[in-house]
A = this chain, B = another copy of it.
């Protein structure tokens, strides 16, 4: 697993660049095809909305892709956001590997 260096591409960007533009479809028409409101799609395209599981299913139908493709894009984006937004999670103390990968338990034998 390589750590994400730069801000991952937003799914909306892919929709726009790889589908809407090449196909010359407007946001309005695409929203209709997908069965969602123009606003919902517009927000995603403009990177202010996210791909929900339901939207991923719709996109997978329209573009002959997998729902996972879209959800992975969103996942990577969200993860990057979470990593960046706060450093609180870094305060979590890792469970010592020797305990994690043995039969030992966390609260048994304080030391040895």
A contact set with B: CB distance below 8 Å: 1, 22-25, 29, 33-35, 52-54, 56-58, 61-64, 66-68, 71-72, 75, 78-79, 81-83, 86, 88-95, 97, 99-100, 103, 105-108
Residue on B nearest A104 in the bound complex, by CB: B23
A54 touches which one: B29, B56, B89, B97 (CB < 8 A)? Answer: B89
Residues of B within 8 A of A64 (CB): 94-95, 97, 100
- Interface SS of chain A: helix
Q: How many copies does the complex hold?
A: 2
Beta-carbon contact of A93 and B54 below 8 Å? no
Beta-carbon contact of B54 and A86 below 8 Å? yes
Taken together as a complex, chains A and B put the C-alpha atoms of A78 and B23 apart, in Å, by 30
Residue on B nearest A52 in the bound complex, by CB: B82
A61 touches which one: B53, B89, B97, B99 (CB < 8 A)? Answer: B89
A23 touches which one: B57, B79, B86, B99 (CB < 8 A)? Answer: B99
Known: A68-B1, A75-B75, A83-B57. A35 touches B91 (CB 8 A): yes
Measured between C-beta atoms, what is the minimum distance from A28 to chain B in Å? 12
